[in-house]
Amino acid sequence: MATAELDIYHLVKLQAVPPDWPGGFWWHWLFFTVVIIGFVLTMVMGVIYIERRGMGRMQSRLGPNRTGPFGLLQPVADAIKVLLKENIVPTAADKLVHWLAPVVAFAPALMLFAVIPFQNGALLADLNIGILYVVAISSVSTMGIFMAGWGSSNKYSLLGAMRNVAAVVSYEIPLVLAIVGVVLISGSLSLNQMVVAQDIPFILLQPLGFLLFFAAGCAEINRSPFDLMEADSEIVAGFHTEYSGMKFAMFYLVEYAEAVAISAVITTLFLGGWRGPLLPPWLWFVVKVLLVFFAMVWTRTTLPRIRIDQLMAFAWKFLFPMALLNLFITALQVLADWPAELAWAMIIVNIAVMAIIILIWSKFFFRLGGGRIEV
């Protein structure tokens, strides 16, 4: 009996965690640290290019096209420009906090990639609580942003930082509840296991969960239409109003590194991670990340920025009950032990349920503004 259990354990272990590819603990650590840093920096440059060119074309412009072929070197030119700029620190600023904030904000964005598999088993640390780690770490960068807002001793910075904290605290809940649905289906908290479990991408099995996670994730990293914290028409540039030179570049980097990180998490949770035919796994991963990021750019160009009351109402009156319902339905389906052969039926049922729930909720329950009749 004991041996059989051990064998099963061994089998599962073998399947989930393939042999440590570069070999040796420290070599593994060094290799993946270098890979992650290189991956994040190159991806940031790539997504900046995609964002600026894509947004330009969506607004009937061309976007930057002067530096290098097709303007490919624009991020490099920006980086050089911003590096050579003067670093100005306000006299009234809390110097240490002001100096430390970009680092505190940037580190979590990088640390997120520690648990994201680039292919089967190719990740820095295959934590068995991977997704919990993601949720925990991603909130830390809010700390850096609040430090920036506080340390600048500028009312606009502080307002922006406060808005960010409010948004993150509210949107963390639907975000996590959307993740729980995926966890229920895959039966594991490890991101690598989740990808292994995705014979059908979870976007089909969890369409509502995907939408919730996408919206809440965009709000979490303060991308438009939830970019209230740097609403330039109201509060200059929000928390990084008083930043210049390399520190500003760090915040710029954080913005896009977080966008890449959220795209990577969405890819891993909902789009089947590195899995895909023909192409090598890491390439599938990169392609999917870029696709998700493009969707973010797309929504950014389309949707106008929402007000703070709309932001809160959307989180608490729409996403939160939707996430609870999604969790409930998913739990029922898992409890009922839906047969694996009938996965296609589950896809249809879930998409129909999503449409019905969204329609009913927005028709009968979702209202903005407490005291006013029509908003």
Partner 1 sequence: MKFERYGIGIAKGLTVTIRHLLRHPTVNQYPEQRLNISRRFRGNELVWNQEKCTGCGTCAKTCPQGAIEIVTSTDMTENKYVVEKYEVDTGYCINCGLCVESCPYEALYFSHAFECARYRRGELVQGKEDMLETPERKVSGYFYPDKAAKLPKQTLLVEKITEKR
Interacting residue ranges for partner 1, rule: CB under 8 A: 54, 56-62, 65, 70, 298-299, 301-303, 358-359, 362-363
Nearer to partner 1, 275 or 317 (CB): 317
What is the smallest separation between the CB atom of 301 and partner 1, expressed in angstroms? 5
What is the smallest separation between the CB atom of 213 and partner 1, expressed in angstroms? 16
Nearer to partner 1, 237 or 368 (CB): 368
Nearer to partner 1, 21 or 70 (CB): 70
Nearer to partner 1, 338 or 366 (CB): 366
Decide: 241 and 157 in contact? Cβ < 8 Å: yes
Amino acid at the residue 100: L
What is the smallest separation between the CB atom of 292 and partner 1, expressed in angstroms? 15
Find where tokens 């995907």 sit: 210
What is the smallest separation between the CB atom of 113 and partner 1, expressed in angstroms? 29
- Give the whole-angstrom CA distance, residue 281 versus residue 133: 23
Ordered DSSP codes for 26-47:
HHHHHHHHHHHHHHHHHHHHHH
Structure tokens at 45: 């440059």
Q: Angle CA(151)–CA(154)–CA(159) in degrees, nearest 5?
A: 95
Nearer to partner 1, 71 or 273 (CB): 71
What is the smallest separation between the CB atom of 53 and partner 1, expressed in angstroms? 10
- Give the whole-angstrom CA distance, residue 83 versus residue 199: 46
3-state secondary structure 238-264: HHHCCCCHHHHHHHHHHHHHHHHHHHH
Structure tokens at 309: 């009351």
Nearer to partner 1, 125 or 352 (CB): 352
What is the smallest separation between the CB atom of 302 and partner 1, expressed in angstroms? 4
- Give the whole-angstrom CA distance, residue 216 versus residue 237: 22
